Structure 1
Amino acid sequence: MFSKILIANRGEIAVRIMKTCKKLGIQTVAVYSEADEHSPHVKLADEAYYIGGPRVHESYLNLEKIMQVAKEAKADAIHPGYGLLSENTSFAARCEEEGIVFIGPSKEVITKMGSKIESRKAMMEAGVPVVPGITTAIPTVEEAIAIANQIGYPVMLKASSGGGGIGMQVVDTEQTLVQAFESNQTRAKNFFGNGEMYIEKLITDAHHIEIQVLADAHGNTVYLWERECSVQRRNQKVIEEASSPFLDEATRHAMGEVAVKAAKSLGYVNAGTIEFLVDHEKNFYFLEMNTRLQVEHPVTEEITGLDLVEQQIRIAEGHPLSFTQAEIARNGHALEARIYAEDPKTFFPSPGKIHTLDLPEHVRIDHCLEEGITITPFYDPMIAKVIVHGATREDAIAKLQQALQETKIEGIKTNISMLLSVLEDETFQSGVYTTSFVQQQLIKK
């Protein structure tokens, strides 16, 4: 059993992990930057250590400093949360070298799945359906043009090491591809240290549906149903729900079984997510695997009754899963809305001081907010997640609408009005929306 866990993250996910640790009687260690000195995640932890300046490379991406703190605090394990170092092979390797458990999969799996090109190869070898495309990096724009002409427009240009929509662009003409290739390659180099690009066929009017898997070190792997993540702006998720209103039972089970097959082919251990694109005929194609906890994991917790952070910790401690696939429930419907500190029309970040904070108490809200706290420009603008559970999808939508209407965050701009517009839209309420929904039906209005 772990007695002390360092959380190598910040904000709402750090608070979320700490709450489970406290429930399990495990002490917590926080790390914080200069900008986060007064953050609630620092106050909630049993111990807290300053690790550097406000920019992520000075603090939350400072692998050596975080390892130094972990050794000084005598932490048994490190939970990376999501983003930051959560899918960093070097970080997982250093934990192994120092004898500190990394709460996640092995460094080998992180490496393979961290490259979209290598992950495509691995899934093809495992017999998992993938989006038509290539399995090698494209060094020049001339080669990109030749490949796009072969595949046929429209195509999706992607950074191999990308994430969060960075280094990704839909391309529908040769002229657009010429303009997009260099700019996205440069962005990928700047954000991920890797400018490798590849191209795959664009699946139009697609649903973005992901399968949550859990795998222990004893050969047991299960899927915890799916999450519909098709409400996106700039390839970034905004509202997620479980279960998907689009899938039928046969497709749902087929996707779950393929996700388990994919995880087993990798020798995967811990929590992970297989993301798929699903076309209008319910054909599904592997998109990528996230070797970490997802931002939207709460909707899975709400319909299954499982604490995914607790499961991660138990697996990392060496315990076998305490349930079988047949025992995993799927009760009711859950929705999550991400609140961003951003202008709801332009999507530009809106840092500043929160003067008024009034959050509803009748629903789950994962956050790291207080009145008087300053939202800085240094980190991702997501500041809270509102999660609801209802007996039916209609019930859950009504609860989320009420919760967002009751949420008061003043002093900064937020996207709450945009979230309410989504929930009120007839297409969303019908459950047949796709990844083009926000762009086609909200932004153009």
Structure 2
Amino acid sequence: MASDSSRPIAPRRGSSNESATNVPSQVGRYRILKRIGSGGMGTVYLAEDPTLHRTVALKVLVKTDNTPPNLIRRFHAEAKTAAMLRHPNIVTVFDSGDADGHLFLALEYIDGPDLEKVIRKNGRVPVERSVEVIRQIARALDHAHALGIVHRDIKPSNILLRRDGTATLTDLGLARAIDESAASGITRAGFTVGTVDYMAPEQARSSKSADVRSDIYSLGCTWFHMLAGRVPFNEGDLTNKLRAHAQSPPPDPREADQRIPSGVVAVVQRMMAKKPDDRYQTPAELLADLDRPGLCRKTVTADDLRSLAEDAADSGAMPIVGAVNEWSDESAAASGSTMIESLAKSSPEIRFEEGPRAKPRKPAPTKSKKPAEPHRFETADKVRAACVLGAFLMLFLIGLWALSQLDRWFGGGTIPPPETVPTDVEPLAPANPGTDVVPSDVPIAPP
């Protein structure tokens, strides 16, 4: 089980967490084996369930005189809600209760690292692998969203990776257990350090404003962290980071790696849009883009881009068509025009122009490339030039023949009268002024 915070949490006065040296031997029927993590909502232990003979991750919150009653009520309510979730990408909740002054949650124990440790060890996560992790967590959020659950604490340390590579979301919904007095301290250094690096602007202003789009923003920040090896806004103190999340444009992960496809960048930046209305509105909408076969493709054709615009026209949006870029899909959804606009923002070198509304069509089947044929205008120019050259040559020959007949015509002899002209000689047809004589077998190009 991963730690509840991206960094070790500084002890606070009146904290309900037990110290590292004060490890209980048993909580309820669970026998404590060792301490494996801690956070603002309690301490996590590796424990054994002697009844069912299985190992669990036991999250324990110690009740003290300083524990707000509202916090206890929400802990129970969220435990019951989390127990309703059954999804391969969500940590399973087995049990919850109150024993010996301890509130506890018995969770599925995952013997694998959290995503934050993987990033810290490897620096960056490969693009294809990062897409798969985000896709799996988006499925988890989609399942939780259907039940009205908002996580409000999406970050790499809350994403566990099983040995088979499956990404699993933990601490689902527990952020809701923080009451208003504690929620105001979620961005205070020493309480939940690091959470602010993934927090949506509206959630920073008021925890009550957080909804599934806030989770999508946090997931976008997590994806950026995987691609770039750093959090989106890592400069300055806590106040500067909050201001950057609220005002600064989403950074481009290609500053860290130019090989990241523009399609991936467009999805990340839409997830991190400042206004909730500009983001994906549901995890299902995000999944539609993540499942596109051309998301990570390096190059595409103009037909791929045109297909997006035509599908957008079918949905009633004005299509935008333009030059080739790195985003493609043969079966774009209604959000195609929005995605192309995102691409235009992420790739300024690409020029886009509005086009007429087009009727939806099926993508043309891929054909093998054929040798390029000469351009029809180039071929016509060659024929026209050959015709002109032939005409000049014919005129030159006629001129030579005329010179050879000068002595006969103007040499002083008398031209025989018409009646003396032999009948077997065909008279020379007079040429029309200004007309070139061209042999009938010479092709004439159209004008």
Judge same fold: TM > 0.5, yes or no.
Answer: no
Q: Which has the higher contact order (CA 8 A, sep 6+)?
A: 1
- More strand per residue: 1
| TM-score, structure 2 as length reference | 0.23
| TM-score, structure 1 as length reference | 0.23
Max radius of gyration: which structure? 2
